[in-house]
């Protein structure tokens, strides 16, 4: 019952007024920190509710919400995943609070605290020893300090990229490249290495991006597929346990990484050429990776037709069309697409359009349509209903 209450409030927290938000904060001040506090799943919902209160409200309520977010992050690993995955905007609203709560923990080797400092865009120098420990672990240098390391490759890449010099970043990138190219690792391990290289690209200069683009493109073309354990499957449809190793191809992760590494128009053309055949057959998470890759390219490099994207069967691709329609120059043939996308059956498409739509007189009529959408999330995105 308690988890259901937290889940319900978390889904409605961005509509709570000041009095309701304060009442929630008062009621939950000790409920998840006192004796018998463990309610599976409640911590994640609690974290989500706090993040939404921090975004929507100001003053002492925002300070208290962010402070609670940091407390939960340091005490529950599942809630920490929610906060680190969705809470960057909220953490950046109160960097001093994040610094006060997380600096000491980061200095003592807490990965989640160090990541929170980076996401809050506040000094994280105290986490530099942790970043060095993660680098040693990634390079295969086993020490007592990194024996029980629990950071993912992407988390390690973010800390190393932010806190260590270029030479160390390149050392990590070289190690990741070897793992990506080695068929003796599982597909999941190689996909994680591509994702980590993707994050590192944000801390590279043009020279480093050009150097590591090739391996990402090789993966995107499918030339690096065939990993160990690709053939591991359940023996029979009636087996009591079904083993799902996920997609074995590196193409989607490689495409996303290559898009972040791309620098020239020819790079963009090659990435689009690889992505087009994949658009016809993506399933599940692969769709989001393809869309992320295409959205990452500079708008001037987009050769894809907006009407074609807007008519695609995948909601992810139509959401990309909505984003591009809002952020690129339009022709007379594409001006009408805004109205078409505002009536799309997919909530994802309409939310994207509402979030990206320019706030000017030219788009006032379309925004009014979105403000009267049947879904609250679309109306909220269109009206940017934040209390200031």
Predicted pLDDT at 387 = 37
CB neighbour list of residue 385: distance below 8 Å, 6 or more residues apart: 14, 56, 379
* 313: its two tokens: 């069967």
Q: Which is it for the CA torsion 216, 222, 228, 230, positive or negative? A: positive
* 3-class DSSP assignment, residue 230: coil
Ramachandran bin of 205, using left for φ above 0, alpha for ψ from -120 to 50, beta for the remaining angles: beta
Nearest CA among 313, 311, 310, 312 for reference residue 325: 310
Cβ neighbours, 10 Å, residue 182:
14
Digit-coded pLDDT (tens) for 323-378: 989 888 777 668 889 999 999 999 999 999 999 999 888 899 999 999 999 998 89
* 179: its two tokens: 């793992």
Q: What is the pLDDT along the chain (388 residues), one digit of tens a residue?
A: 677 888 888 888 888 889 999 999 888 877 655 555 555 678 899 999 999 999 989 899 999 999 999 999 998 888 999 999 999 999 999 999 999 999 999 999 999 999 999 999 999 999 999 999 999 999 988 766 556 677 899 999 999 999 999 999 999 999 999 999 998 888 899 999 999 999 999 999 999 999 999 999 999 999 998 876 655 554 555 555 555 556 788 999 999 999 999 988 889 889 988 988 887 776 667 788 888 888 888 766 666 788 888 988 889 889 999 998 988 877 766 888 999 999 999 999 999 999 999 988 889 999 999 999 999 889 988 886 333 3
Predicted pLDDT at 282 = 63
Cβ neighbours, 10 Å, residue 287:
19
Query: DSSP assignment of 259-321, as one string?
Result: HHH--SHHHHHHHHHHHHHHHTS--THHHHHHHHHHHHS-GGG--S-HHHHHT-S-HHHHHHH
Q: How far apart are the first and last CA of the chain?
A: 34
Helix, strand and coil content of the chain, in percent to the nearest 5, comes to 70, 0, 30
Predicted pLDDT at 32 = 55
Q: Which helix (H) or strand (E) holds 350?
A: helix 347-356
> Measured between alpha carbons, how far is 209 from 195 in angstroms, rounded to an integer?
14
Predicted pLDDT at 330 = 75
pTM score, whole prediction = 0.84
* 3-class DSSP assignment, residue 183: coil
Residue 21 CB-density burial (10 A; 0-12 exposed, 13-18 middle, 19+ buried): buried
């Amino acid at each position: 019952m308690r988890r259901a209450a937290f889940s319900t409030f978390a889904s409605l927290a961005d509509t709570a007024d000041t009095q309701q938000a304060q009442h929630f904060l008062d009621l939950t001040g000790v409920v998840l920190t006192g004796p018998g506090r463990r309610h599976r799943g409640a911590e994640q919902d609690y974290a989500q509710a706090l993040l939404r209160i921090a975004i929507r409200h100001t003053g002492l309520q925002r300070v208290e919400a962010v402070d609670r977010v940091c407390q939960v992050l340091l005490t529950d690993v599942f809630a920490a995943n929610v906060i680190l995955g969705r809470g960057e905007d909220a953490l950046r609203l109160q960097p001093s609070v994040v610094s006060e709560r997380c600096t000491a923990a980061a200095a003592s080797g807490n990965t989640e605290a160090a990541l929170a400092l980076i996401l809050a865009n506040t000094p994280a120098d105290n986490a530099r020893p942790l970043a060095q420990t993660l680098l040693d672990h990634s390079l295969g240098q086993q020490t007592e300090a990194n024996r029980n390391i629990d950071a993912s490759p992407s988390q390690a890449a973010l800390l190393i990229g932010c806190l260590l010099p270029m030479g160390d970043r390149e050392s990590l990138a070289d190690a990741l490249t070897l793992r990506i190219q080695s068929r003796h690792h599982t597909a999941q391990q190689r996909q994680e290495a591509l994702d980590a290289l993707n994050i590192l690209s944000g801390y590279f200069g043009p020279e480093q991006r050009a150097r590591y683009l090739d391996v990402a493109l090789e993966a995107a073309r499918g030339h690096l597929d065939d990993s160990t354990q690709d053939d591991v499957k359940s023996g029979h449809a009636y087996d009591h346990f079904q083993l799902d190793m996920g997609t074995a191809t590196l193409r989607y992760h490689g495409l996303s990484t290559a898009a972040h590494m791309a620098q020239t128009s020819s790079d963009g053309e090659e990435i689009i050429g690889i992505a087009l055949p994949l658009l016809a057959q993506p399933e599940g998470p692969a769709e989001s990776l393809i869309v992320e890759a295409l959205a990452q390219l500079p708008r001037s490099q987009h050769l894809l037709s907006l009407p074609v994207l807007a008519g695609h069967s995948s909601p992810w691709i139509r959401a990309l069309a909505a984003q591009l329609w809002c952020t690129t120059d339009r022709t007379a043939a594409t001006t009408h697409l805004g109205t078409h996308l505002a009536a799309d059956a997919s909530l994802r498409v309409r939310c994207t359009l509402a979030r990206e739509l320019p706030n000017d007189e030219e788009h006032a009529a379309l925004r009014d349509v979105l403000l009267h959408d049947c879904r609250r999330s679309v109306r909220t995105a269109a009206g940017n209903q934040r209390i200031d």
